[in-house]
Amino acid sequence: MAQIKSTTVLGILHNGQLALGADGQATMGNTVAKSNVKKIRRLAGGKIVAGFAGSTADAFTLIEKFEEKINSFGGNLKRAAIELAKEWRTDRYLRKLEAMMIVANAEEMLVISGTGDVLEPDNQVAAIGSGSMYAQSAALALKKHAPHLTAEEMVREGLTIAADICIYTNHNFVIETL
């Protein structure tokens, strides 16, 4: 049986605003399984936003684990991310999970992977999933050449460009801002 996958997530910190968005498509192999998956979650009373790409069930498990870490470390984003990455890499069950996450608050954004990586993205732009390189390229160009746009407008346009190019990304976007 093919795994259900979900795809493009883009986050931008720009002019004091964070926007994190994702498309809504989930695929099983080369078939669209669902077109309106919500891949963005607000955590910590709305102060933290998390987005995922990869196997949907795995990502939900990781979001729950991350929320536990956030609660354990008093809302400290970086500490929670590092502790999740350590557990994800070393736990026999968790290390089999196939997903990536972008987590952010109003001041910082991090990419977390199952290999133990916790990365602070360059230029305050992070993207994960199958359409990530298209969305990230568009976002970087917008930050450089259209700085008057809001973070939310940049995320929407970056996701639109990715959806126009990547067959695993659709135009059903969910975008959260802080």
pLDDT tens digit string along 128-166? 999 999 999 999 999 999 999 999 999 999 999 999 999
Does an H or E element contain 9, and which? strand 9-14
CA 100/CA 112 separation, integer angstroms? 6
Does residue 175 form part of some domain?
no
Does residue 57 form part of some domain?
yes
Mean pLDDT value across residues 34-54: 94
Mean pLDDT of the chain: 92
Per the structure, the count of domains in the chain is 1
Does residue 61 form part of some domain?
yes
* Residue type present at position 107: E
Mean pLDDT value across residues 111-130: 93
What pLDDT, on the 0 to 100 scale, is given for residue 4?
47
In order of 54, 112, 149, the CA distances from 177 in angstroms are 22, 20, 14
Does residue 174 form part of some domain?
no
What pLDDT, on the 0 to 100 scale, is given for residue 83?
95
Does residue 123 form part of some domain?
yes
Does residue 173 form part of some domain?
no
CA 177/CA 20 separation, integer angstroms? 6
Does residue 176 form part of some domain?
no
Residue 37: is its pLDDT beyond 50? yes
What pLDDT, on the 0 to 100 scale, is given for residue 5?
55
| CATH code, domain carrying 37 | 3.60.20.10
Q: Are 94 and 65 in contact (CB under 8 A)?
A: yes
Residue 56: is its pLDDT beyond 90? no
pTM: 0.94
- Kindly list the catalytic residues: 7
Domain with 152, as residue range(s), is: 4-168
